[in-house]
Chain A
Amino acid sequence: MSVEATANVEKGNAWSGGRVPLGSSYGKLMMWMFLLSDAFTFSSLLVTYGYLRVTALPGWVAPEEVFHGIPFLVEEGLPLVFVGIMTFILIASSVTMVLAVEAGHRMDQKNVARYMILTIIGGLMFLSCQALEWTHLIENGLTLTFNPFKVPLGPNAGQNASTMFGDLFFVITGFHGFHVFSGVVINIIIYFKTIAGDFQKRGHYEMVEKVGLYWHFVDLVWVFVFTVFYLIY
Protein backbone atom coordinates (compact mmCIF):
# COMPACT_ATOMS: atom_id res chain seq x y z
CA MET A 1 0.00 0.00 0.00
CA SER A 2 2.62 2.48 1.09
CA VAL A 3 4.74 1.54 -1.88
CA GLU A 4 1.82 2.29 -4.17
CA ALA A 5 1.17 5.64 -2.42
CA THR A 6 4.80 6.65 -2.75
CA ALA A 7 4.70 5.71 -6.40
CA ASN A 8 1.64 7.94 -6.88
CA VAL A 9 3.31 10.85 -5.16
CA GLU A 10 6.27 10.48 -7.42
CA LYS A 11 3.97 10.31 -10.43
CA GLY A 12 2.71 13.74 -9.44
CA ASN A 13 -0.95 13.05 -8.76
CA ALA A 14 -2.08 15.96 -6.57
CA TRP A 15 -4.80 13.97 -4.78
CA SER A 16 -2.90 10.78 -3.93
CA GLY A 17 -1.38 12.01 -0.70
CA GLY A 18 1.80 13.69 0.40
CA ARG A 19 0.71 17.03 -1.01
CA VAL A 20 -1.64 19.88 -0.14
CA PRO A 21 -3.83 20.05 -3.25
CA LEU A 22 -5.68 23.22 -2.22
CA GLY A 23 -2.57 24.86 -0.80
CA SER A 24 -4.46 25.84 2.33
CA SER A 25 -4.51 24.70 5.94
CA TYR A 26 -7.49 22.80 7.34
CA GLY A 27 -8.66 25.73 9.45
CA LYS A 28 -8.56 28.23 6.61
CA LEU A 29 -10.32 25.86 4.23
CA MET A 30 -13.09 25.23 6.76
CA MET A 31 -13.49 28.97 7.29
CA TRP A 32 -13.95 29.31 3.52
CA MET A 33 -16.52 26.49 3.57
CA PHE A 34 -18.41 28.20 6.38
CA LEU A 35 -18.36 31.47 4.46
CA LEU A 36 -19.61 29.68 1.36
CA SER A 37 -22.60 28.33 3.32
CA ASP A 38 -23.16 31.79 4.81
CA ALA A 39 -23.07 33.25 1.31
CA PHE A 40 -25.93 30.92 0.40
CA THR A 41 -27.90 32.02 3.47
CA PHE A 42 -27.49 35.69 2.65
CA SER A 43 -28.19 35.23 -1.02
CA SER A 44 -31.43 33.39 -0.19
CA LEU A 45 -32.46 36.37 1.92
CA LEU A 46 -31.52 38.86 -0.78
CA VAL A 47 -33.14 36.85 -3.55
CA THR A 48 -36.28 36.65 -1.40
CA TYR A 49 -36.11 40.44 -1.24
CA GLY A 50 -36.03 40.58 -5.03
CA TYR A 51 -38.91 38.14 -5.38
CA LEU A 52 -41.13 39.89 -2.84
CA ARG A 53 -40.25 43.27 -4.22
CA VAL A 54 -41.38 42.63 -7.79
CA THR A 55 -44.63 41.10 -6.52
CA ALA A 56 -45.31 43.55 -3.66
CA LEU A 57 -48.62 45.40 -3.52
CA PRO A 58 -49.44 48.26 -3.53
CA GLY A 59 -45.81 49.12 -4.30
CA TRP A 60 -42.32 49.76 -2.98
CA VAL A 61 -40.80 52.76 -1.19
CA ALA A 62 -38.24 55.11 -2.73
CA PRO A 63 -34.99 54.59 -0.77
CA GLU A 64 -34.01 58.27 -0.90
CA GLU A 65 -37.29 59.13 0.86
CA VAL A 66 -36.71 56.57 3.63
CA PHE A 67 -33.02 57.16 4.27
CA HIS A 68 -32.61 60.90 4.10
CA GLY A 69 -31.26 62.13 7.43
CA ILE A 70 -28.34 61.80 9.81
CA PRO A 71 -29.57 60.89 13.32
CA PHE A 72 -29.09 63.74 15.85
CA LEU A 73 -27.61 66.04 13.22
CA VAL A 74 -29.84 66.52 10.21
CA GLU A 75 -33.49 65.53 10.15
CA GLU A 76 -33.84 65.32 6.37
CA GLY A 77 -32.59 66.53 3.01
CA LEU A 78 -29.40 64.43 2.85
CA PRO A 79 -30.41 61.23 1.07
CA LEU A 80 -28.12 58.22 1.59
CA VAL A 81 -25.34 60.21 3.29
CA PHE A 82 -25.60 58.32 6.58
CA VAL A 83 -25.43 54.92 4.90
CA GLY A 84 -22.48 56.25 2.92
CA ILE A 85 -20.68 56.92 6.19
CA MET A 86 -21.54 53.39 7.37
CA THR A 87 -20.19 51.88 4.15
CA PHE A 88 -17.01 53.89 4.47
CA ILE A 89 -16.53 52.73 8.09
CA LEU A 90 -16.90 49.09 7.10
CA ILE A 91 -14.52 49.32 4.13
CA ALA A 92 -11.98 51.15 6.31
CA SER A 93 -12.22 48.46 9.00
CA SER A 94 -11.65 45.84 6.30
CA VAL A 95 -8.44 47.65 5.36
CA THR A 96 -7.19 47.72 8.96
CA MET A 97 -7.98 43.98 9.19
CA VAL A 98 -5.93 43.26 6.07
CA LEU A 99 -3.09 45.34 7.52
CA ALA A 100 -3.28 43.25 10.72
CA VAL A 101 -2.98 40.07 8.63
CA GLU A 102 -0.02 41.57 6.77
CA ALA A 103 1.65 42.49 10.09
CA GLY A 104 1.01 38.92 11.25
CA HIS A 105 2.98 37.57 8.30
CA ARG A 106 5.94 39.58 9.57
CA MET A 107 5.39 38.34 13.17
CA ASP A 108 4.95 41.98 14.17
CA GLN A 109 2.94 41.53 17.38
CA LYS A 110 2.66 45.23 18.16
CA ASN A 111 1.19 46.16 14.80
CA VAL A 112 -1.20 43.19 14.76
CA ALA A 113 -2.59 44.37 18.11
CA ARG A 114 -2.79 47.96 16.88
CA TYR A 115 -4.67 47.12 13.70
CA MET A 116 -6.96 44.66 15.52
CA ILE A 117 -7.98 47.46 17.90
CA LEU A 118 -8.71 49.76 14.94
CA THR A 119 -10.79 47.01 13.32
CA ILE A 120 -12.76 46.49 16.53
CA ILE A 121 -13.41 50.22 16.78
CA GLY A 122 -14.61 50.26 13.17
CA GLY A 123 -16.99 47.38 13.87
CA LEU A 124 -18.38 49.06 16.97
CA MET A 125 -18.87 52.32 15.05
CA PHE A 126 -20.76 50.47 12.35
CA LEU A 127 -22.99 48.76 14.93
CA SER A 128 -23.70 52.10 16.63
CA CYS A 129 -24.66 53.62 13.28
CA GLN A 130 -27.00 50.73 12.61
CA ALA A 131 -28.57 51.06 16.05
CA LEU A 132 -29.17 54.77 15.38
CA GLU A 133 -30.70 54.05 11.99
CA TRP A 134 -33.03 51.39 13.38
CA THR A 135 -34.13 53.69 16.22
CA HIS A 136 -34.75 56.47 13.74
CA LEU A 137 -36.87 54.26 11.44
CA ILE A 138 -38.85 52.73 14.32
CA GLU A 139 -39.57 56.22 15.69
CA ASN A 140 -40.83 57.17 12.23
CA GLY A 141 -43.28 54.27 12.45
CA LEU A 142 -41.61 51.59 10.33
CA THR A 143 -42.24 48.23 12.03
CA LEU A 144 -42.69 44.63 10.93
CA THR A 145 -46.43 45.19 10.48
CA PHE A 146 -46.69 48.83 9.42
CA ASN A 147 -45.02 50.92 6.75
CA PRO A 148 -45.61 54.68 6.95
CA PHE A 149 -43.72 55.47 3.75
CA LYS A 150 -45.65 56.14 0.55
CA VAL A 151 -45.41 54.60 -2.91
CA PRO A 152 -43.69 57.27 -5.04
CA LEU A 153 -44.76 56.29 -8.58
CA GLY A 154 -47.24 54.22 -10.51
CA PRO A 155 -50.99 53.72 -10.23
CA ASN A 156 -50.86 53.33 -6.43
CA ALA A 157 -48.73 56.45 -5.81
CA GLY A 158 -49.47 58.07 -2.46
CA GLN A 159 -50.67 54.90 -0.71
CA ASN A 160 -48.70 53.35 2.12
CA ALA A 161 -46.07 51.06 0.55
CA SER A 162 -45.88 47.31 1.11
CA THR A 163 -45.18 46.25 4.72
CA MET A 164 -42.74 43.73 3.23
CA PHE A 165 -40.18 46.55 3.10
CA GLY A 166 -39.98 46.78 6.89
CA ASP A 167 -39.94 42.99 7.29
CA LEU A 168 -37.09 42.52 4.86
CA PHE A 169 -35.17 45.55 6.06
CA PHE A 170 -35.16 44.54 9.71
CA VAL A 171 -34.52 40.85 9.04
CA ILE A 172 -31.69 41.31 6.52
CA THR A 173 -29.87 44.23 8.13
CA GLY A 174 -30.49 42.57 11.50
CA PHE A 175 -28.96 39.32 10.32
CA HIS A 176 -26.02 41.21 8.87
CA GLY A 177 -25.68 43.30 12.03
CA PHE A 178 -25.60 40.11 14.08
CA HIS A 179 -22.73 38.91 11.90
CA VAL A 180 -20.90 42.18 12.53
CA PHE A 181 -21.53 41.78 16.26
CA SER A 182 -20.14 38.21 16.22
CA GLY A 183 -17.18 39.48 14.21
CA VAL A 184 -16.43 42.16 16.79
CA VAL A 185 -16.61 39.60 19.62
CA ILE A 186 -14.26 37.23 17.75
CA ASN A 187 -11.92 40.13 16.93
CA ILE A 188 -11.79 41.07 20.63
CA ILE A 189 -10.89 37.48 21.56
CA ILE A 190 -8.15 37.41 18.92
CA TYR A 191 -6.90 40.81 20.11
CA PHE A 192 -6.48 39.50 23.67
CA LYS A 193 -4.77 36.35 22.40
CA THR A 194 -2.43 38.56 20.37
CA ILE A 195 -1.38 40.77 23.28
CA ALA A 196 -1.03 37.65 25.46
CA GLY A 197 1.59 36.48 22.94
CA ASP A 198 -0.24 33.24 22.10
CA PHE A 199 0.40 33.51 18.37
CA GLN A 200 3.98 34.63 18.89
CA LYS A 201 4.55 31.39 20.84
CA ARG A 202 2.74 29.37 18.19
CA GLY A 203 5.04 30.79 15.53
CA HIS A 204 2.35 32.05 13.15
CA TYR A 205 -0.65 34.38 13.03
CA GLU A 206 -3.00 32.18 11.04
CA MET A 207 -5.86 32.79 13.46
CA VAL A 208 -5.74 36.47 12.51
CA GLU A 209 -6.00 35.43 8.87
CA LYS A 210 -9.07 33.25 9.55
CA VAL A 211 -10.81 35.99 11.50
CA GLY A 212 -9.83 38.34 8.71
CA LEU A 213 -11.62 36.13 6.18
CA TYR A 214 -14.77 36.30 8.27
CA TRP A 215 -14.51 40.06 8.69
CA HIS A 216 -14.04 40.67 4.96
CA PHE A 217 -17.03 38.46 4.29
CA VAL A 218 -19.14 40.68 6.54
CA ASP A 219 -17.94 43.66 4.50
CA LEU A 220 -18.73 41.77 1.30
CA VAL A 221 -22.30 41.06 2.40
CA TRP A 222 -22.76 44.72 3.28
CA VAL A 223 -21.74 45.66 -0.28
CA PHE A 224 -24.70 43.61 -1.56
CA VAL A 225 -27.13 44.72 1.16
CA PHE A 226 -26.18 48.32 0.40
CA THR A 227 -26.91 47.94 -3.31
CA VAL A 228 -30.17 46.12 -2.79
CA PHE A 229 -31.68 48.31 -0.08
CA TYR A 230 -30.25 51.73 -0.69
CA LEU A 231 -29.28 52.03 -4.35
CA ILE A 232 -31.84 50.11 -6.40
CA TYR A 233 -34.96 52.22 -6.61
Chain B
Amino acid sequence: MSENIAHTSEPHDHEEHHFEIIEQGLHEIHSTRKEIWRVFFILLAITVLEFLIALTPAIKDGLGKSKVVGIFFFLTVLKAFYIVGYFMHLKHEKLNMAYTILIPLMFIAYLITLLLFEGSHQIHI
Protein backbone atom coordinates (compact mmCIF):
# COMPACT_ATOMS: atom_id res chain seq x y z
CA MET B 1 0.00 0.00 0.00
CA SER B 2 2.74 2.39 0.96
CA GLU B 3 4.53 1.57 -2.32
CA ASN B 4 1.48 2.64 -4.29
CA ILE B 5 1.45 5.96 -2.56
CA ALA B 6 5.12 6.42 -3.31
CA HIS B 7 4.49 5.76 -6.99
CA THR B 8 1.59 8.16 -7.36
CA SER B 9 3.55 10.88 -5.64
CA GLU B 10 6.35 10.54 -8.20
CA PRO B 11 4.65 10.35 -11.62
CA HIS B 12 7.85 11.19 -13.45
CA ASP B 13 9.69 8.24 -12.03
CA HIS B 14 6.78 6.01 -12.90
CA GLU B 15 6.82 7.09 -16.53
CA GLU B 16 10.53 6.46 -16.85
CA HIS B 17 9.99 3.01 -15.48
CA HIS B 18 7.30 2.46 -18.11
CA PHE B 19 9.68 3.45 -20.90
CA GLU B 20 12.25 1.06 -19.56
CA ILE B 21 9.74 -1.78 -19.79
CA ILE B 22 8.91 -0.92 -23.40
CA GLU B 23 12.57 -0.75 -24.32
CA GLN B 24 13.19 -4.03 -22.62
CA GLY B 25 10.24 -5.47 -24.56
CA LEU B 26 11.65 -4.35 -27.89
CA HIS B 27 14.99 -5.83 -27.02
CA GLU B 28 13.31 -9.11 -26.09
CA ILE B 29 11.38 -9.30 -29.38
CA HIS B 30 14.59 -8.83 -31.27
CA SER B 31 16.47 -11.49 -29.33
CA THR B 32 13.56 -13.96 -29.47
CA ARG B 33 13.48 -13.81 -33.26
CA LYS B 34 17.23 -14.14 -33.40
CA GLU B 35 17.02 -17.19 -31.18
CA ILE B 36 14.32 -18.78 -33.37
CA TRP B 37 16.51 -18.49 -36.46
CA ARG B 38 19.58 -19.66 -34.56
CA VAL B 39 17.71 -22.83 -33.50
CA PHE B 40 16.44 -23.31 -37.06
CA PHE B 41 19.98 -23.27 -38.43
CA ILE B 42 21.20 -25.62 -35.69
CA LEU B 43 18.42 -28.10 -36.57
CA LEU B 44 19.26 -27.77 -40.25
CA ALA B 45 22.96 -28.31 -39.62
CA ILE B 46 22.30 -31.44 -37.54
CA THR B 47 20.03 -32.83 -40.27
CA VAL B 48 22.66 -32.17 -42.95
CA LEU B 49 25.27 -33.89 -40.76
CA GLU B 50 22.97 -36.92 -40.44
CA PHE B 51 22.64 -37.07 -44.22
CA LEU B 52 26.37 -36.83 -44.73
CA ILE B 53 26.91 -39.77 -42.38
CA ALA B 54 24.07 -41.79 -43.93
CA LEU B 55 25.31 -41.24 -47.48
CA THR B 56 29.06 -41.74 -46.97
CA PRO B 57 29.91 -45.44 -47.01
CA ALA B 58 33.47 -44.63 -45.85
CA ILE B 59 32.19 -43.25 -42.51
CA LYS B 60 29.74 -46.13 -42.06
CA ASP B 61 32.38 -48.80 -42.73
CA GLY B 62 35.08 -46.99 -40.80
CA LEU B 63 33.13 -46.59 -37.57
CA GLY B 64 31.05 -49.74 -37.62
CA LYS B 65 27.30 -50.09 -37.36
CA SER B 66 26.80 -49.78 -33.61
CA LYS B 67 28.80 -46.54 -33.38
CA VAL B 68 27.00 -44.97 -36.35
CA VAL B 69 23.60 -45.90 -34.91
CA GLY B 70 24.73 -44.42 -31.60
CA ILE B 71 25.69 -41.17 -33.34
CA PHE B 72 22.32 -41.04 -35.12
CA PHE B 73 20.54 -41.59 -31.82
CA PHE B 74 22.58 -38.87 -30.11
CA LEU B 75 21.92 -36.36 -32.92
CA THR B 76 18.19 -37.18 -32.83
CA VAL B 77 17.99 -36.54 -29.09
CA LEU B 78 19.95 -33.31 -29.61
CA LYS B 79 17.38 -32.19 -32.20
CA ALA B 80 14.58 -33.16 -29.82
CA PHE B 81 16.23 -31.04 -27.11
CA TYR B 82 16.27 -27.97 -29.35
CA ILE B 83 12.66 -28.46 -30.52
CA VAL B 84 11.25 -29.08 -27.03
CA GLY B 85 13.49 -26.58 -25.27
CA TYR B 86 13.25 -23.60 -27.62
CA PHE B 87 10.32 -24.10 -30.02
CA MET B 88 8.04 -25.56 -27.36
CA HIS B 89 9.56 -23.15 -24.87
CA LEU B 90 10.06 -25.74 -22.13
CA LYS B 91 13.52 -24.39 -21.34
CA HIS B 92 11.96 -21.10 -20.24
CA GLU B 93 9.09 -22.68 -18.26
CA LYS B 94 9.21 -23.20 -14.51
CA LEU B 95 11.36 -26.08 -13.37
CA ASN B 96 8.30 -27.76 -11.80
CA MET B 97 6.62 -27.74 -15.19
CA ALA B 98 9.65 -29.13 -17.02
CA TYR B 99 9.98 -31.99 -14.52
CA THR B 100 6.26 -32.80 -14.80
CA ILE B 101 6.73 -33.34 -18.52
CA LEU B 102 10.19 -34.87 -18.64
CA ILE B 103 10.30 -37.31 -15.73
CA PRO B 104 7.52 -39.62 -17.04
CA LEU B 105 9.51 -39.97 -20.27
CA MET B 106 11.95 -42.18 -18.33
CA PHE B 107 9.47 -45.01 -18.82
CA ILE B 108 10.17 -44.88 -22.55
CA ALA B 109 13.86 -45.49 -21.95
CA TYR B 110 12.87 -48.39 -19.70
CA LEU B 111 10.64 -49.88 -22.41
CA ILE B 112 13.36 -49.54 -25.05
CA THR B 113 15.92 -51.26 -22.84
CA LEU B 114 13.56 -54.11 -21.98
CA LEU B 115 12.39 -54.81 -25.50
CA LEU B 116 15.82 -54.57 -27.12
CA PHE B 117 17.19 -57.12 -24.64
CA GLU B 118 14.16 -59.31 -25.20
CA GLY B 119 14.49 -58.96 -28.98
CA SER B 120 18.18 -59.84 -29.14
CA HIS B 121 17.52 -62.76 -26.79
CA GLN B 122 14.88 -64.12 -29.14
CA ILE B 123 17.35 -64.13 -32.04
CA HIS B 124 19.54 -66.68 -30.29
CA ILE B 125 16.74 -69.17 -29.60
Residues of A within 8 A of B (CB): 14, 21-24, 29, 32, 36, 39-40, 43-44, 47-48, 50-55, 64, 79-80, 84, 87-88, 91-92, 94-95, 97-99, 102, 106, 212-213, 216-217, 219-220, 223-224, 227, 230-233
Query: Which bracket fits the contact residues of B?
Result: 35 or more
17 contacts between A and B (CB under 8 A): A23-B93, A24-B93, A24-B97, A32-B97, A32-B101, A44-B111, A80-B51, A91-B44, A99-B33, A102-B33, A216-B83, A216-B84, A223-B76, A227-B75, A227-B76, A231-B72, A233-B60
A216–B90 Cα gap in the complex (Å)?
12
CA of A192 to CA of B12 in the docked complex: distance in angstroms? Answer: 43
- Do the beta carbons of B119 and A232 come within 8 Å of each other? no
Does B19 lie at the interface of the complex (its beta carbon under 8 Å from any beta carbon of A)? no
Given contacts A24-B93, A220-B80, A223-B76, contact A64 B54 (CB under 8 A): yes
Q: A79 touching B55 by the CB < 8 A rule?
A: yes
A80-B83 Cα distance, complex, nearest whole Å: 22
Question: Bound complex: CA of A102 vs CA of B35, how far in Å?
Answer: 11
Whole-angstrom CA separation of A4 from B40 in the bound complex: 50
Interface string of B20-55 (1 = CB under 8 A from A): 000000000100110011001001100100110111
Residue of B nearest to A40 (CB): B108
Interface status of B9 (Cβ within 8 A of chain A): no
CB–CB A22/B100 < 8 A: yes
* Beta-carbon contact of A50 and B116 below 8 Å: yes
